[in-house]
Chain A
Amino acid sequence: MSDVLKEYPVEQVHRWYHRLADAVLARKVDGNDPLSGQFLKKYLENRSRTATYTFTPPVYFRSSAEVVQALRFHRRVFLTEERARLGGGLRWAGLIPRLKDGRWDGQSRLSLHYESLVEYGGTPIDIARIQLRGTPAEQDLFTSLRGFQLRSDIAVTGAAQGSQVLVTFQSWQAVGIDTYDFNFDEYLTMPNPDYQSQDGDAIRPDLQSFRVFHTNAQRMETANLAQPYGVRVGPWPVADPNVTGRALIDPNKRLP
């Protein structure tokens, strides 16, 4: 199938992408502008390749099962209950190694951070479930933040309790981190936001949909009408007691 957008001046293509973003934004998700539409709009407005933009994390993102599961995993890593995924491998991290080697005295305030990949729709079964049963919120997360890094920044204090240490999470901030950019070799098919439009700027209003080749994103970037950027969704304070609740750790725990 031919590249419809290629036939039009890049400025007009840029305006078409804006109308595509508007079509996405036309449907609110739990009262919010969908992230996928916000991200595309920002891409079309951005002129700096080194820019990073912060987006307000909607409740449906912060409370999504994938984010909650990842935060609970982060907790287990901080408490040295589960090995961290680091540098392509698994190894013990968090508080107990720091107690063992003296980097933490078990009492004073200690700051740590950890991040891991979170995926929405990681398997065909997941994708089918999101398509069939997924709320618009899940579908928005699936298409906007399909795979991203979730970072936790924490501060803890400790108190001796017998041979163990009672850990209190004094603060916990989480943020989703991603990059909004296109692979110029790829394409997909999208509904045409200009379908049946009478506007003189409309592109192929006779077509209900056509293939969108990402080489057109490349054209816009070359003309500096759009640029990729860093995405930060958040930070937000984590308050889930299953994540931030106090815990006992054993400084003498064997770490095979």
Chain B
Amino acid sequence: MRALLGTVLPLSIVFCVLLSAPASQAGQAALPMRSWDQILEADLFTGFERVIEQEAAERVYTYFLTDPAGTPVLSILVALSPAGTHLTEAGHASATRGLAPEVLARDFPDFGARARVEAPFFSPSGGLTGLVFTTSDLLFDVRVSVFEASSDVDRPALTALEAARIVEDAYLATFE
């Protein structure tokens, strides 16, 4: 398949969805997990191949962008869990209290209901950025991680924040 994609497209993109356990009762009641599959498939990266697996606790969508040789150059991971799994209102308030505005903007960006930056790491060969946020409707915690290998291959300019924005926008659009 990778060879086929490499032939048809300048870049092959493999979209893996690793599914885990049932989400929060609140999340399930508000939006079945299957709908998340539709949100991401329809709106996030159109045309990507998607593979679904189901295991335990978390619902995880991983996108790989590889160069024609099959080397990963971009990996976007989106993990869904019930709100409160990674962020709580009280914890967020405590962590952000007294921070300088630029530190607040850098480490706890104004995003969704609340958000926290989890990385970054930087090296000549690649960078890793991470963000966890609670959806604006307070139903889900969404963990987004973006690994980008240094490369000259044309690709979207994304950090975890931009990827999270795409996810949040797609999610909110389902309620419009």
Interfacial residues, chain A to chain B (CB-CB below 8 A): 1, 20-21, 23-24, 27, 34, 36-37, 39-40, 121, 124, 127-128, 130-132, 139-140, 142-144, 146-147, 180-183, 185-191, 193, 195-198, 208-211, 214, 217
Contact = CB atoms under 8 A, between A and B. Distances in A.
Interface string B120-141: 1111111111100000000000
A185 B106 contact: no
Nearest to B124: A182
Interface string B137-151: 000000001011111
Given A132-B77, A196-B101, A209-B161, A146 B123 contact: yes
A128 B16 contact: yes
B144 to A, nearest CB: 9
Contacts of B58: 132
A137 to B, nearest CB: 11
Nearest to B160: A191
Contacts of A209: 129, 157, 159, 161-162
Contact of A1 (B62, B147, B157): B157
B72 A188 contact: no
A185 B152 contact: yes
Contact of B150 (A27, A124, A188): A188
A193 B107 CA distance: 10
A146 B79 contact: no
Contacts of B79: 132
A132 B145 contact: yes
B123 A132 contact: no
Contact of B128 (A128, A139, A182, A198): A139
B147 A131 contact: yes
29 contacts: A23-B106, A24-B122, A36-B121, A37-B122, A124-B72, A128-B60, A130-B147, A131-B62, A142-B121, A143-B121, A143-B127, A143-B128, A144-B121, A146-B125, A180-B124, A181-B124, A185-B152, A186-B152, A187-B150, A188-B149, A189-B157, A189-B158, A193-B106, A196-B101, A197-B102, A208-B161, A209-B162, A214-B124, A217-B124
B52 interface: no
B75 interface: yes
Given A128-B77, A198-B102, A143 B109 contact: no
Nearest to A17: B122
B42 interface: no
Interface residues of B, number: 42
Going nearest first, the 10 A-B pairs with the smallest beta carbon separation are A143-B121, A186-B150, A131-B145, A196-B105, A131-B77, A128-B62, A182-B124, A209-B159, A36-B121, A124-B64
Given A39-B123, A131-B147, 14 more contacts: A1-B157, A24-B122, A127-B72, A128-B16, A128-B77, A143-B123, A143-B128, A188-B150, A190-B122, A191-B161, A195-B106, A196-B102, A208-B109, A214-B124
Most B C-beta atoms less than 10 A away, residue of A40, A128, A211: A128
A148 B41 CA distance: 37
Contacts of B14: 124
B148 A188 contact: yes
A152 to B, nearest CB: 24
Nearest to B153: A186
